[in-house]
Amino acid sequence: MKKLFKKPTLKGVLHIAALLICGAVLGLNIYSANAGKLVGNQLPMPFGYGAAVVLSGSMEPELSVGDLILVREADVYAVDDVVVFQEGSSLVVHRITDIADGRVTTKGDANNAADEPIELSAVKGRVVLSVPYVGTLVELIKTPVGTLCVAALAIALVEIPRRNEKKKDDEERQKIIDEINRLKEQV
C-alpha cells in the first residue's frame, strides 16, 4: 500500500518552523501597524500580553535602549512595579512611585523628577520580562524595508526548496528518458 505522508525530516520541520516565524512576524507587524495608526493604540495587548522596545535611557540601568520588553496586563499594581503607559502617541516605561485615589505617579529610574500623575486606567501593563538588545532587531523588522526582507525570506524559504525538488525531478525524468532511448537503440 502506498503511503500518503512522508516521515518528516529535520530539514522539513525547520522549514515549516521558519515559515511560521516569518508569518507570525508579518502578521504581528500588520496587526501592530493597524492598532497604532487606525485606533491610536501603540501597544496592542492580544491575550493580555504585549511587546515593546525601550527607546530611551530613562530606566537605566534596569532597562536600556534597544531592550525588548514583554508587558502583561494586571488587575492590581503596586509601588515599585515597572509599568508601561501611553502618553499621546508614545509609550512610556517607568516605575510606579505612588498610587493614590485611582491615580499613579511614575518616575524613570534615571530621571531626577517624577512624572505628572496619570489615571490608573492609562497603565497598559507591568513589565514581566526584558531581553537586552533584541528590541533593536524588532524595530528594524517593523520598518517597511524590514517587513519586505521578512516577506522575501518567507518566499525564499518556500521557493528555493520547491525549485530544488523540481530540478531533482527533472534530472530523474531525463535519466529515465535517456534509458528509454538507450533501450530503443538496442532493439
Full pLDDT tens readout for the chain, 187 residues: 556 666 777 777 777 777 777 777 767 666 666 655 555 556 667 678 888 888 888 999 999 998 988 999 999 999 999 999 988 778 899 999 999 998 999 999 999 999 999 999 889 999 999 989 887 777 777 777 887 887 788 788 778 887 888 888 889 999 999 888 888 888 7
Same domain, 76 and 87: yes
- Domain limits for position 32: 11-41
Q: Which of 142, 164, 181 is the last residue of a domain?
A: 142
Q: Are residues 57 and 136 in the same domain?
A: yes
Verify that 78 and 132 share a domain, yes or no. yes
Mark whether 56 is an active-site residue: yes
Asked, for residue 147, whether it belongs to a domain, the answer is no
Q: Please pick, among 56, 64, 89, 130, the residue that the annotation labels catalytic.
A: 56
How far apart are the C-alpha atoms of 107 and 113, rounded to whole Å? Answer: 7
Residue pair 49/59 in contact (Cβ under 8 Å)? The answer is no
Tell me the CATH number at 109: 2.10.109.10
Cβ proximity of 163 and 157 under 8 Å: no
Q: Do you find a cis peptide bond into 46, omega within 30 degrees of 0? A: no
Residue 68 β-bridge partners: 53, 131
d(CA 92, CA 84): 5
Kindly state the cell numbers that stand for 159: 521557493
**3-state SS assignment for residue 100:** strand
CA atoms within 13 A on the CB side of 162: 6
Cβ distance 47 to 28 under 8 Å?
A: no
Tell me how many domains the chain contains: 2
